[in-house]
Amino acid sequence: MLKAYKYRLYPTCKQASTLQWTLDRCRELYNAALQERRDAYRMVGKSITYYNQANQLPEIKEIREEYKDIHSQVLQDVLRKADKAFKAFFARCKRGKTLGYPVRRIVGSY
C-alpha cells in the first residue's frame, strides 16, 4: 500500500510575499523560455533545448540581480517544465492528436 502525505503551509505575511515574489520570477522565466524557443524557430528554424537555456542561467543571474536570490535548482526546474511542455506538444503532433501549443503563464498566485 502506498501512502501519501499532504502538508499545509501557514506562512506569515512576510513569507507569503516572498513566496509570491519567487513565483512571479519563475513565471517570468517560464514565459521568457517559451518566447525564446518560439522566436528561435520562427527566425532561424532552429530549436532550443533545455541544456541551451540552462547554460544561460548564470548570464541571466548577472543581468537580472533578482534571480540571484532564487536557488539555481528552482530555476532549472522551471526550464525543465518548459522543455516538457514542448516535448509533449511535439509528441502530440507525431501522433496526430489535438495540438495544444504550450501557452504563457499569465497569472500565478500562491
pLDDT of residue 110: 45
Residue type present at position 105: R
How far, in Å, CA of 6 to CA of 25, rounded? Answer: 26
Cell of 3: 501512502
Cell of 38: 518560439
What is the model's pTM? 0.81
How far, in Å, CA of 7 to CA of 90, rounded? Answer: 35
pLDDT of residue 107: 59
- Per-residue pLDDT tens, the chain, 110 aa: give them: 889 999 999 999 999 999 999 999 999 999 999 999 989 888 988 889 999 999 999 999 999 999 999 999 999 999 999 999 888 887 887 887 766 677 666 655 54
